[in-house]
Structure 1
Amino acid sequence: MIGHQHQSSGAHFAFTDRWGGVSAAPYEQLNLGGAVGDEPGAVRTNRELVAKELRLDPAGVVWMKQVHGRDVVVVDGPWKPDGKIPGVDAVVTTRRRLALAVLTADCTPVLLADPLAGVAAAAHAGRPGLVAGVVPATVEAMLALGAQASRITALAGPAICGRCYEVPEDMRADVARAVPESWSTTSWGTPAVDVTAGVVAQLARFGVEMCEKSHICTLESPDYFSYRRDRTTGRLAGYVWLD
Protein backbone atom coordinates (compact mmCIF):
# COMPACT_ATOMS: atom_id res chain seq x y z
CA MET A 1 0.00 0.00 0.00
CA ILE A 2 2.63 2.54 1.06
CA GLY A 3 5.52 1.87 -1.27
CA HIS A 4 7.83 4.31 0.49
CA GLN A 5 7.81 6.64 3.49
CA HIS A 6 10.31 9.25 4.62
CA GLN A 7 10.48 11.56 7.63
CA SER A 8 12.64 14.64 7.96
CA SER A 9 12.57 16.54 11.28
CA GLY A 10 8.99 17.77 11.22
CA ALA A 11 7.94 16.73 7.70
CA HIS A 12 6.41 13.48 6.44
CA PHE A 13 6.50 12.10 2.90
CA ALA A 14 4.81 8.99 1.46
CA PHE A 15 4.31 7.35 -1.93
CA THR A 16 1.81 4.57 -2.64
CA ASP A 17 2.15 1.49 -4.83
CA ARG A 18 -0.79 -0.22 -6.55
CA TRP A 19 -1.64 -2.90 -3.95
CA GLY A 20 -3.93 -3.13 -0.92
CA GLY A 21 -7.01 -1.42 -2.35
CA VAL A 22 -10.48 -2.41 -3.55
CA SER A 23 -10.56 -1.28 -7.22
CA ALA A 24 -11.25 -3.90 -9.88
CA ALA A 25 -9.19 -4.38 -13.06
CA PRO A 26 -7.92 -2.44 -14.94
CA TYR A 27 -7.57 -0.15 -11.89
CA GLU A 28 -6.48 -2.87 -9.51
CA GLN A 29 -6.08 -2.36 -6.67
CA LEU A 30 -5.17 0.91 -4.98
CA ASN A 31 -6.31 3.46 -7.55
CA LEU A 32 -6.43 6.91 -5.95
CA GLY A 33 -7.36 8.89 -9.08
CA GLY A 34 -10.94 10.14 -9.25
CA ALA A 35 -10.98 11.02 -12.96
CA VAL A 36 -9.78 7.84 -14.67
CA GLY A 37 -13.07 5.95 -14.99
CA ASP A 38 -12.93 3.90 -11.79
CA GLU A 39 -15.94 3.38 -9.52
CA PRO A 40 -16.12 6.51 -7.28
CA GLY A 41 -16.92 4.42 -4.19
CA ALA A 42 -13.79 2.33 -4.72
CA VAL A 43 -11.63 5.45 -5.05
CA ARG A 44 -13.14 6.88 -1.86
CA THR A 45 -12.46 3.63 0.01
CA ASN A 46 -8.90 3.51 -1.30
CA ARG A 47 -8.24 7.08 -0.18
CA GLU A 48 -9.63 6.25 3.26
CA LEU A 49 -7.42 3.14 3.51
CA VAL A 50 -4.26 5.12 2.73
CA ALA A 51 -5.22 7.95 5.10
CA LYS A 52 -5.77 5.43 7.89
CA GLU A 53 -2.39 3.83 7.19
CA LEU A 54 -0.73 7.27 7.36
CA ARG A 55 -2.81 8.34 10.40
CA LEU A 56 -4.36 11.20 8.47
CA ASP A 57 -7.94 12.45 8.31
CA PRO A 58 -9.26 11.31 4.87
CA ALA A 59 -11.36 14.49 4.67
CA GLY A 60 -8.28 16.59 5.40
CA VAL A 61 -6.23 15.72 2.30
CA VAL A 62 -5.91 18.29 -0.51
CA TRP A 63 -6.18 16.73 -3.99
CA MET A 64 -5.62 18.58 -7.26
CA LYS A 65 -7.33 18.73 -10.63
CA GLN A 66 -4.09 18.29 -12.57
CA VAL A 67 -3.84 19.80 -16.04
CA HIS A 68 -0.12 19.57 -17.03
CA GLY A 69 0.46 23.30 -16.48
CA ARG A 70 2.56 25.41 -14.11
CA ASP A 71 -0.11 27.03 -11.92
CA VAL A 72 0.42 26.81 -8.16
CA VAL A 73 -2.16 27.50 -5.47
CA VAL A 74 -1.63 28.16 -1.75
CA VAL A 75 -4.18 26.32 0.39
CA ASP A 76 -5.07 26.40 4.09
CA GLY A 77 -7.56 23.54 4.10
CA PRO A 78 -9.34 20.94 1.93
CA TRP A 79 -11.60 22.09 -0.88
CA LYS A 80 -15.22 22.62 0.10
CA PRO A 81 -17.36 19.57 -0.87
CA ASP A 82 -19.51 21.67 -3.23
CA GLY A 83 -16.65 23.89 -4.38
CA LYS A 84 -14.92 23.79 -7.74
CA ILE A 85 -11.36 22.46 -7.63
CA PRO A 86 -9.09 24.70 -9.73
CA GLY A 87 -6.95 23.22 -12.49
CA VAL A 88 -3.47 23.37 -10.93
CA ASP A 89 -0.38 21.18 -10.85
CA ALA A 90 1.05 22.22 -7.50
CA VAL A 91 -0.29 23.03 -4.04
CA VAL A 92 1.55 24.79 -1.23
CA THR A 93 0.53 25.21 2.42
CA THR A 94 1.70 26.68 5.72
CA ARG A 95 -0.95 24.72 7.62
CA ARG A 96 0.47 21.98 9.80
CA ARG A 97 -1.10 18.49 9.63
CA LEU A 98 -2.72 19.40 6.30
CA ALA A 99 -1.71 16.69 3.81
CA LEU A 100 -1.13 17.63 0.16
CA ALA A 101 -1.49 14.90 -2.48
CA VAL A 102 -0.27 14.52 -6.06
CA LEU A 103 -1.50 11.84 -8.49
CA THR A 104 0.72 10.15 -11.09
CA ALA A 105 1.07 7.14 -13.40
CA ASP A 106 4.45 7.87 -15.11
CA CYS A 107 4.82 11.62 -14.42
CA THR A 108 7.21 12.67 -11.64
CA PRO A 109 5.58 13.42 -8.28
CA VAL A 110 7.62 16.01 -6.35
CA LEU A 111 7.19 16.56 -2.61
CA LEU A 112 8.87 19.48 -0.84
CA ALA A 113 9.02 20.81 2.71
CA ASP A 114 10.82 23.37 4.86
CA PRO A 115 9.64 22.34 8.34
CA LEU A 116 11.42 25.24 10.07
CA ALA A 117 9.48 27.78 7.99
CA GLY A 118 6.39 25.57 8.14
CA VAL A 119 5.92 25.35 4.37
CA ALA A 120 5.11 22.19 2.38
CA ALA A 121 4.29 21.58 -1.29
CA ALA A 122 3.33 18.85 -3.77
CA ALA A 123 3.86 19.18 -7.52
CA HIS A 124 2.94 17.14 -10.60
CA ALA A 125 5.73 17.22 -13.18
CA GLY A 126 5.12 15.42 -16.44
CA ARG A 127 6.90 16.36 -19.66
CA PRO A 128 4.66 19.42 -20.31
CA GLY A 129 4.94 20.55 -16.67
CA LEU A 130 8.71 20.19 -16.77
CA VAL A 131 8.90 22.46 -19.81
CA ALA A 132 6.35 24.91 -18.36
CA GLY A 133 8.35 25.10 -15.12
CA VAL A 134 5.86 23.87 -12.53
CA VAL A 135 8.60 22.86 -10.09
CA PRO A 136 10.42 26.23 -10.22
CA ALA A 137 7.03 27.96 -9.78
CA THR A 138 6.39 25.77 -6.72
CA VAL A 139 9.75 26.64 -5.15
CA GLU A 140 9.12 30.35 -5.81
CA ALA A 141 5.76 30.08 -4.03
CA MET A 142 7.45 28.37 -1.06
CA LEU A 143 10.17 31.05 -0.87
CA ALA A 144 7.49 33.77 -0.91
CA LEU A 145 6.01 32.15 2.20
CA GLY A 146 9.32 32.20 4.07
CA ALA A 147 10.97 28.93 3.06
CA GLN A 148 14.72 28.88 2.42
CA ALA A 149 16.09 26.90 -0.52
CA SER A 150 18.96 25.42 1.50
CA ARG A 151 16.49 24.04 4.06
CA ILE A 152 13.98 22.49 1.65
CA THR A 153 13.77 18.71 1.69
CA ALA A 154 12.75 17.45 -1.78
CA LEU A 155 11.70 13.95 -2.86
CA ALA A 156 10.85 12.61 -6.32
CA GLY A 157 8.63 9.54 -6.37
CA PRO A 158 8.23 6.60 -8.78
CA ALA A 159 8.07 7.74 -12.43
CA ILE A 160 8.89 6.50 -15.90
CA CYS A 161 12.68 6.50 -16.28
CA GLY A 162 14.78 8.18 -18.96
CA ARG A 163 15.70 4.81 -20.47
CA CYS A 164 12.01 3.95 -21.06
CA TYR A 165 10.31 7.26 -21.91
CA GLU A 166 10.63 7.18 -25.70
CA VAL A 167 9.62 10.34 -27.60
CA PRO A 168 10.05 11.65 -31.17
CA GLU A 169 13.42 13.29 -31.89
CA ASP A 170 11.93 16.79 -32.24
CA MET A 171 10.10 16.46 -28.93
CA ARG A 172 13.33 15.47 -27.14
CA ALA A 173 14.99 18.53 -28.68
CA ASP A 174 12.14 20.83 -27.56
CA VAL A 175 12.27 19.58 -23.97
CA ALA A 176 16.08 19.71 -23.86
CA ARG A 177 16.00 23.33 -25.07
CA ALA A 178 14.02 24.17 -21.93
CA VAL A 179 15.85 21.77 -19.58
CA PRO A 180 19.07 20.35 -21.11
CA GLU A 181 19.47 17.75 -18.35
CA SER A 182 16.28 15.98 -19.51
CA TRP A 183 17.94 14.80 -22.75
CA SER A 184 18.04 11.00 -22.75
CA THR A 185 18.21 7.87 -24.88
CA THR A 186 16.20 4.68 -24.40
CA SER A 187 17.91 1.43 -23.54
CA TRP A 188 17.22 0.41 -27.16
CA GLY A 189 18.90 3.53 -28.59
CA THR A 190 16.03 5.87 -29.53
CA PRO A 191 15.31 9.47 -28.36
CA ALA A 192 13.94 9.79 -24.84
CA VAL A 193 13.21 12.31 -22.07
CA ASP A 194 14.25 11.94 -18.42
CA VAL A 195 11.70 14.08 -16.57
CA THR A 196 13.07 13.33 -13.11
CA ALA A 197 16.61 14.35 -14.14
CA GLY A 198 15.11 17.59 -15.44
CA VAL A 199 13.32 18.20 -12.14
CA VAL A 200 16.54 17.56 -10.19
CA ALA A 201 18.31 20.15 -12.37
CA GLN A 202 15.54 22.73 -11.97
CA LEU A 203 15.68 22.36 -8.18
CA ALA A 204 19.48 22.62 -8.19
CA ARG A 205 19.24 25.98 -9.96
CA PHE A 206 17.40 27.27 -6.88
CA GLY A 207 19.92 25.70 -4.51
CA VAL A 208 17.46 22.96 -3.54
CA GLU A 209 19.10 19.55 -3.27
CA MET A 210 17.08 16.43 -4.08
CA CYS A 211 17.10 14.50 -0.81
CA GLU A 212 15.72 11.31 -2.33
CA LYS A 213 14.92 10.15 -5.86
CA SER A 214 12.94 6.94 -6.37
CA HIS A 215 14.80 4.18 -8.21
CA ILE A 216 11.48 2.73 -9.41
CA CYS A 217 10.46 3.03 -13.06
CA THR A 218 6.65 2.88 -13.24
CA LEU A 219 6.70 1.41 -16.74
CA GLU A 220 9.07 -1.40 -15.76
CA SER A 221 7.51 -2.28 -12.39
CA PRO A 222 4.20 -4.19 -12.29
CA ASP A 223 3.76 -2.92 -8.71
CA TYR A 224 3.05 0.59 -10.00
CA PHE A 225 0.50 2.14 -12.37
CA SER A 226 1.84 3.21 -15.76
CA TYR A 227 -0.22 5.13 -18.31
CA ARG A 228 2.39 4.53 -21.00
CA ARG A 229 2.26 0.77 -20.41
CA ASP A 230 -1.47 0.22 -19.84
CA ARG A 231 -3.32 3.39 -20.99
CA THR A 232 -6.48 2.66 -18.96
CA THR A 233 -5.13 2.33 -15.42
CA GLY A 234 -5.13 3.75 -11.91
CA ARG A 235 -3.16 6.53 -10.27
CA LEU A 236 -0.54 6.46 -7.52
CA ALA A 237 -0.31 9.21 -4.93
CA GLY A 238 2.42 11.11 -3.15
CA TYR A 239 1.61 12.76 0.19
CA VAL A 240 3.43 15.43 2.17
CA TRP A 241 2.53 17.07 5.49
CA LEU A 242 4.11 18.91 8.40
CA ASP A 243 3.93 17.95 12.09
Structure 2
Amino acid sequence: MSVAPFDTFNLGDHVGDDPAAVAANRRRLAEAIGLPPDRVVWMNQVHGDRVVRVDEPRDTAVDGTDALISTEPRLALAVITADCVPVLLGDVRAGVIGAVHAGRVGAAKGVVARTVEAMIAAGARPEDISALLGPAVSGANYEVPTAMAEEVEAALPGSRTRTAAGTPGLDLRAGIARQLVDLGVTAIDVDTRCTFADRNLFSHRRGAPTGRLASLVWME
Protein backbone atom coordinates (compact mmCIF):
# COMPACT_ATOMS: atom_id res chain seq x y z
CA MET A 1 0.00 0.00 0.00
CA SER A 2 1.36 3.40 -0.94
CA VAL A 3 1.93 5.97 1.79
CA ALA A 4 1.40 9.76 1.71
CA PRO A 5 1.54 11.64 -0.57
CA PHE A 6 0.88 8.63 -2.83
CA ASP A 7 -1.72 6.94 -0.65
CA THR A 8 -4.79 7.23 -2.86
CA PHE A 9 -4.03 4.49 -5.37
CA ASN A 10 -0.95 5.90 -7.08
CA LEU A 11 -0.22 4.18 -10.40
CA GLY A 12 2.93 6.11 -11.38
CA ASP A 13 6.22 4.26 -10.96
CA HIS A 14 8.49 7.28 -11.46
CA VAL A 15 7.32 9.67 -8.74
CA GLY A 16 9.18 8.42 -5.67
CA ASP A 17 6.63 5.90 -4.43
CA ASP A 18 7.66 2.42 -3.26
CA PRO A 19 7.97 0.34 -6.47
CA ALA A 20 6.42 -2.67 -4.73
CA ALA A 21 3.40 -0.59 -3.74
CA VAL A 22 2.97 0.72 -7.29
CA ALA A 23 3.24 -2.79 -8.70
CA ALA A 24 0.60 -3.98 -6.24
CA ASN A 25 -1.69 -1.10 -7.21
CA ARG A 26 -1.28 -1.96 -10.89
CA ARG A 27 -2.12 -5.60 -10.18
CA ARG A 28 -5.23 -4.50 -8.28
CA LEU A 29 -6.27 -2.34 -11.22
CA ALA A 30 -5.86 -5.20 -13.69
CA GLU A 31 -7.89 -7.46 -11.42
CA ALA A 32 -10.63 -4.82 -11.10
CA ILE A 33 -11.08 -4.63 -14.90
CA GLY A 34 -10.84 -8.39 -15.34
CA LEU A 35 -7.53 -8.61 -17.19
CA PRO A 36 -4.22 -10.31 -16.37
CA PRO A 37 -1.54 -7.77 -15.39
CA ASP A 38 0.45 -8.40 -18.58
CA ARG A 39 -2.58 -7.38 -20.65
CA VAL A 40 -2.43 -3.83 -19.28
CA VAL A 41 0.25 -2.01 -21.27
CA TRP A 42 1.97 0.97 -19.63
CA MET A 43 4.27 3.64 -21.04
CA ASN A 44 7.40 5.34 -19.78
CA GLN A 45 6.21 8.73 -20.98
CA VAL A 46 8.64 11.42 -22.13
CA HIS A 47 6.49 14.35 -23.37
CA GLY A 48 7.16 13.54 -27.01
CA ASP A 49 5.12 12.59 -30.07
CA ARG A 50 6.19 8.96 -30.61
CA VAL A 51 3.42 6.42 -31.20
CA VAL A 52 3.97 2.67 -30.69
CA ARG A 53 1.68 -0.15 -31.83
CA VAL A 54 1.30 -3.03 -29.37
CA ASP A 55 -0.60 -6.20 -30.21
CA GLU A 56 0.51 -8.64 -27.54
CA PRO A 57 0.80 -8.79 -23.75
CA ARG A 58 3.98 -7.53 -22.14
CA ASP A 59 5.48 -7.48 -18.65
CA THR A 60 7.36 -4.19 -19.04
CA ALA A 61 6.33 -0.67 -19.96
CA VAL A 62 6.93 0.66 -23.47
CA ASP A 63 9.93 2.97 -23.20
CA GLY A 64 10.18 6.49 -24.60
CA THR A 65 6.68 6.94 -25.94
CA ASP A 66 3.57 8.99 -25.22
CA ALA A 67 1.01 7.12 -27.30
CA LEU A 68 0.00 3.53 -27.94
CA ILE A 69 -2.35 1.96 -30.47
CA SER A 70 -3.61 -1.61 -30.71
CA THR A 71 -5.92 -3.88 -32.69
CA GLU A 72 -5.81 -6.66 -30.08
CA PRO A 73 -8.99 -7.41 -28.06
CA ARG A 74 -8.66 -7.49 -24.27
CA LEU A 75 -5.37 -5.60 -24.32
CA ALA A 76 -5.70 -2.41 -22.28
CA LEU A 77 -3.63 0.69 -23.05
CA ALA A 78 -2.86 2.87 -20.04
CA VAL A 79 -1.97 6.56 -19.72
CA ILE A 80 -0.76 8.04 -16.42
CA THR A 81 -1.31 11.71 -15.65
CA ALA A 82 -1.44 14.31 -12.90
CA ASP A 83 -2.44 17.45 -14.89
CA CYS A 84 -1.68 16.44 -18.50
CA VAL A 85 -4.54 15.33 -20.75
CA PRO A 86 -5.22 11.60 -21.14
CA VAL A 87 -6.76 11.05 -24.58
CA LEU A 88 -8.51 7.73 -25.21
CA LEU A 89 -9.50 6.85 -28.78
CA GLY A 90 -11.41 3.98 -30.35
CA ASP A 91 -12.85 2.91 -33.69
CA VAL A 92 -15.13 0.03 -32.74
CA ARG A 93 -15.99 -0.77 -36.35
CA ALA A 94 -12.37 -1.18 -37.41
CA GLY A 95 -11.19 -2.58 -34.08
CA VAL A 96 -8.47 -0.03 -33.42
CA ILE A 97 -7.82 1.80 -30.14
CA GLY A 98 -5.36 4.45 -29.01
CA ALA A 99 -4.20 6.01 -25.75
CA VAL A 100 -2.29 9.28 -25.59
CA HIS A 101 -0.41 11.23 -22.92
CA ALA A 102 -0.91 14.82 -24.08
CA GLY A 103 0.89 17.31 -21.91
CA ARG A 104 1.74 20.83 -23.01
CA VAL A 105 4.90 19.82 -24.85
CA GLY A 106 3.59 16.64 -26.45
CA ALA A 107 0.26 18.19 -27.44
CA ALA A 108 2.06 21.09 -29.11
CA LYS A 109 4.32 18.62 -30.94
CA GLY A 110 1.23 16.90 -32.35
CA VAL A 111 1.15 13.63 -30.42
CA VAL A 112 -2.65 13.38 -30.73
CA ALA A 113 -2.54 13.91 -34.49
CA ARG A 114 0.27 11.35 -34.85
CA THR A 115 -1.88 8.84 -32.95
CA VAL A 116 -4.91 9.40 -35.16
CA GLU A 117 -2.67 8.99 -38.20
CA ALA A 118 -1.31 5.70 -36.81
CA MET A 119 -4.84 4.47 -36.12
CA ILE A 120 -5.87 5.31 -39.69
CA ALA A 121 -2.85 3.38 -40.97
CA ALA A 122 -4.11 0.42 -38.90
CA GLY A 123 -7.54 0.58 -40.55
CA ALA A 124 -9.47 3.18 -38.56
CA ARG A 125 -11.58 5.92 -40.17
CA PRO A 126 -11.67 9.39 -38.59
CA GLU A 127 -15.47 9.57 -38.79
CA ASP A 128 -15.70 6.31 -36.84
CA ILE A 129 -13.25 7.28 -34.07
CA SER A 130 -14.64 8.24 -30.68
CA ALA A 131 -12.48 10.27 -28.30
CA LEU A 132 -12.52 10.88 -24.56
CA LEU A 133 -10.41 13.65 -23.05
CA GLY A 134 -9.92 12.78 -19.41
CA PRO A 135 -9.35 14.77 -16.21
CA ALA A 136 -6.64 17.43 -16.56
CA VAL A 137 -5.72 20.85 -15.23
CA SER A 138 -8.33 23.30 -16.52
CA GLY A 139 -7.64 26.59 -18.24
CA ALA A 140 -8.91 28.40 -15.16
CA ASN A 141 -5.99 26.96 -13.18
CA TYR A 142 -3.23 26.58 -15.77
CA GLU A 143 -1.31 29.85 -15.66
CA VAL A 144 1.66 30.20 -18.01
CA PRO A 145 3.86 33.07 -19.27
CA THR A 146 2.43 35.05 -22.17
CA ALA A 147 5.13 33.83 -24.56
CA MET A 148 4.39 30.19 -23.71
CA ALA A 149 0.66 30.69 -24.23
CA GLU A 150 1.36 32.21 -27.63
CA GLU A 151 3.77 29.42 -28.58
CA VAL A 152 1.32 26.66 -27.70
CA GLU A 153 -1.55 28.52 -29.40
CA ALA A 154 0.47 28.69 -32.61
CA ALA A 155 1.02 24.93 -32.55
CA LEU A 156 -2.36 23.92 -31.09
CA PRO A 157 -4.99 26.55 -31.94
CA GLY A 158 -7.74 26.97 -29.38
CA SER A 159 -5.48 26.32 -26.39
CA ARG A 160 -4.83 29.89 -25.24
CA THR A 161 -7.20 31.17 -22.58
CA ARG A 162 -7.36 33.32 -19.44
CA THR A 163 -7.14 31.86 -15.95
CA ALA A 164 -9.62 32.57 -13.20
CA ALA A 165 -7.23 35.32 -12.08
CA GLY A 166 -7.27 36.90 -15.54
CA THR A 167 -3.71 35.88 -16.39
CA PRO A 168 -2.52 34.05 -19.53
CA GLY A 169 -3.44 30.39 -19.42
CA LEU A 170 -3.78 27.20 -21.41
CA ASP A 171 -6.78 24.95 -21.94
CA LEU A 172 -5.16 21.96 -23.60
CA ARG A 173 -8.41 20.02 -23.82
CA ALA A 174 -9.96 22.81 -25.88
CA GLY A 175 -7.01 22.83 -28.26
CA ILE A 176 -6.96 19.04 -28.58
CA ALA A 177 -10.71 18.94 -29.21
CA ARG A 178 -10.34 21.47 -32.02
CA GLN A 179 -7.45 19.49 -33.48
CA LEU A 180 -9.51 16.29 -33.42
CA VAL A 181 -12.36 17.99 -35.25
CA ASP A 182 -9.90 19.25 -37.87
CA LEU A 183 -8.74 15.64 -38.29
CA GLY A 184 -12.30 14.47 -38.91
CA VAL A 185 -13.02 13.12 -35.42
CA THR A 186 -16.32 14.55 -34.22
CA ALA A 187 -17.45 12.08 -31.51
CA ILE A 188 -15.61 13.81 -28.67
CA ASP A 189 -16.47 13.59 -24.97
CA VAL A 190 -14.69 15.59 -22.28
CA ASP A 191 -14.40 14.73 -18.59
CA THR A 192 -14.36 18.31 -17.35
CA ARG A 193 -12.88 17.57 -13.93
CA CYS A 194 -9.88 19.75 -13.12
CA THR A 195 -7.03 17.88 -11.48
CA PHE A 196 -5.85 21.06 -9.77
CA ALA A 197 -9.25 21.87 -8.26
CA ASP A 198 -10.47 18.34 -7.46
CA ARG A 199 -8.58 17.02 -4.45
CA ASN A 200 -9.74 13.50 -5.22
CA LEU A 201 -7.33 13.62 -8.17
CA PHE A 202 -3.55 13.85 -8.27
CA SER A 203 -2.14 17.19 -9.43
CA HIS A 204 1.54 17.91 -9.91
CA ARG A 205 0.77 21.61 -10.22
CA ARG A 206 -1.17 21.69 -6.95
CA GLY A 207 1.46 19.86 -4.96
CA ALA A 208 4.53 17.89 -6.04
CA PRO A 209 5.60 15.25 -5.30
CA THR A 210 2.34 13.48 -5.95
CA GLY A 211 1.01 10.30 -7.50
CA ARG A 212 -0.45 9.59 -10.92
CA LEU A 213 -3.93 8.52 -11.97
CA ALA A 214 -4.48 6.14 -14.88
CA SER A 215 -6.87 6.23 -17.82
CA LEU A 216 -7.36 3.03 -19.81
CA VAL A 217 -8.97 1.93 -23.07
CA TRP A 218 -9.49 -1.63 -24.34
CA MET A 219 -11.75 -3.76 -26.53
CA GLU A 220 -13.64 -6.76 -25.23
Instruction: Flag as ranges the 4+ runs of structure 1 deviating above 4 A.
Output: none
Q: Where do residues 1-243 of structure 1 align in structure 2 (5 Å cutoff)?
A: 22-81=1-60, 85-243=62-220
Amino acid at match of 1:43: V
Q: Is the 8 A contact 1:200 1:210 kept in 2?
A: no
Query: So what's the TM-score if we normalise by structure 2?
Result: 0.97
- Whole-Å separation in 2 of the counterparts to 1:74 and 1:116: 18
* Larger RCO, structure (CA 8 Å, separation 6 or more): 1
Question: CA 1:199–1:210 in structure 2 vs 1: closer, same or farther (change >3 Å)?
Answer: farther
Q: Assess if the C-alpha contact under 8 Å between 2:39 and 2:75 holds in 1.
A: yes
Q: TM-score normalised to the size of structure 1?
A: 0.88
SS at match of 1:198: helix
Take 2:169 and 2:57, find their aligned partners in 1: how far apart are those partners?
Answer: 37
| Distance across 2 between alignment mates of 1:63 and 1:182 | 27
Alignment match, 1:8: none
> Partner of 1:174: helix, strand, or coil?
helix
- Contact kept, 8 Å, 2:38 with 2:58, in 1: the verdict is no
Distance in 2 (CA, whole Å) between partners of 1:67 and 1:210 is 28
CA displacement at 1:86 relative to structure 2: 2.3
> What is the aligned-residue RMSD (CA, Å)?
1.1
Q: SS at the partner of 1:239? A: strand
**CA offset at residue 55 of structure 1?**
1.3
- CA deviation digits over 1:103-140, x for unaligned, max 9? 00000000001111110110000000111000000000
Q: Do the aligned residues in 1 keep the contact of 2:2 with 2:9 (CA within 8 Å)?
A: yes
Q: List per-residue Cα deviations over 1:142-178 (Å, max 9, x = no partner).
A: 0001101111111011000011100001000101111
2: CA distance between counterparts of 1:218 and 1:196? 13
Query: Where does the alignment leave 5 or more consecutive residues of structure 2 unmatched?
Result: none
> Do the aligned partners of 1:32 and 1:235 also contact (CA within 8 Å) in 2?
yes
